[in-house]
Structure 1
Amino acid sequence: MTKQVTTHDNALEKADLHEIMKLLPHRYPLLLVDSIINIDGNRSAVGIKNVTFNEPHFQGHFPGEPIMPGVLIVEGMAQTSGAIGIRDLKLDKPALVFFMTIDNVKFRKPVVPGDILEYHVKLIKQRGSICKYECTGIVGGEKVAEAEVQAMLSPSDAKSRGK
């Protein structure tokens, strides 16, 4: 059964870096969300990534012309989506989020050090622990990337799965 997306008039919430780290197992250098604002349950939110020159991928992508790799932009979108999905489950420890599909990816403009990258995510559909989000990357009011990401939220840790 697919859960239809509806909007609610609840006050929008936010999550700082400390809360994000309680929700997701990711850590530097692969944690790509600094804060999340405008959280409306698991329905929508805006993740914020302050892009800085000292991030390790800029050493090789590209020397003298640093550009954030597109795959990391999509990962940041997925982390924002996963964080609000996990937050909605109200767990007491981080959960894992497993990518299932990444569709309709488009990159429109480069993201460079000094940019504030916003990951706008909106739930398209949910079936059990599987969620699909429409995601848009925005810098300075301009669309820089877009994608649809689908993932499975897994509240159990690796030890409980026998690994």
Structure 2
Amino acid sequence: MHLEYFQLIDRILDLNTAEKTITAEARVPEVNTIFEGHFPGHPIMPGVLLIESMAQTSGWLLLALMKFERMPFLAAVKEAKMRGFVSPGELLTIEANVLHEGSGYAMTEARVKVGGKLRCNATITFSHVPFPNPELRGHMDAEAKRVGFPQQALLP
């Protein structure tokens, strides 16, 4: 997890396009300037970054389902619930599944767990459009390699 670059997913553990599910993981850094203010003496991962980790995981699932032809962008977050603290150094397991697809939008249901225990969950809506430019597409291709995106997911 590289918070300063908003790279909140370390690797994809499982991607099942038939079942429309994904599991990813990320290790919260032991030390990061974000923890200096959130909170002094009691560092915890900000809820907005946990939501972003669920959104990024969901985004990888949608990229796979759309065969990397369209880019998902966060459109709405509903019923996000923080159910426990996430501390520096903890290993996050992030799961997502598709609830609905159609008309240029997709909805996912996502969860963050630590040691099998639910720490947060949300319903997330995305709009998706063709990649707006080659630079973004190239960046996403490089990120796909970094997180271990299974290229076989793109085969017909």
TM-score bucket (shorter structure): 0.7 to 0.9
Which residue does the alignment assign to 1:23? none
**How far off is 1:88 after superposition?**
2.8
Measure, in 1, the Cα distance between the counterparts of 2:14 and 2:119. 20
Contact 1:135 1:147 in 2 (8 A): yes
Which residue does the alignment assign to 2:14? 38
Contact 2:62 2:72 in 1 (8 A): no
Change (3 A) 1:101 1:27: same
Measure, in 1, the Cα distance between the counterparts of 2:31 and 2:62. 30
Q: Give the letter for the 1:62 counterpart.
A: F
**How far off is 1:39 after superposition?**
0.6
Measure, in 2, the Cα distance between the counterparts of 1:149 and 1:72. 14
Contact 1:121 1:136 in 2 (8 A): yes
**How far off is 1:114 after superposition?**
1.6
Structure 2, unaligned runs of 5 or more: 136-156
Measure, in 2, the Cα distance between the counterparts of 1:54 and 1:46. 25
Change (3 A) 1:81 1:108: same
Matches within 5 A, 1:69-88: 69-88=46-65
**How far off is 1:28 after superposition?**
4.4
Measure, in 2, the Cα distance between the counterparts of 1:28 and 1:84. 23
Which residue does the alignment assign to 1:155? 130
Contact 1:123 1:133 in 2 (8 A): yes
Contact 1:29 1:56 in 2 (8 A): no
Structure 1, unaligned runs of 5 or more: 1-16, 18-25
Measure, in 2, the Cα distance between the counterparts of 1:67 and 1:110. 6
Aligned counterpart in structure 2 of residue 104 of structure 1, from 79, 83, 100: 79
Which residue does the alignment assign to 1:3? none
Measure, in 2, the Cα distance between the counterparts of 1:89 and 1:158. 17
Q: Give the letter for the 1:107 counterpart.
A: M
TM-score normalized by structure 2? 0.76
Which residue does the alignment assign to 2:107? 132
Measure, in 2, the Cα distance between the counterparts of 1:59 and 1:102. 27
TM-score normalized by structure 1? 0.73
**How far off is 1:97 after superposition?**
2.9
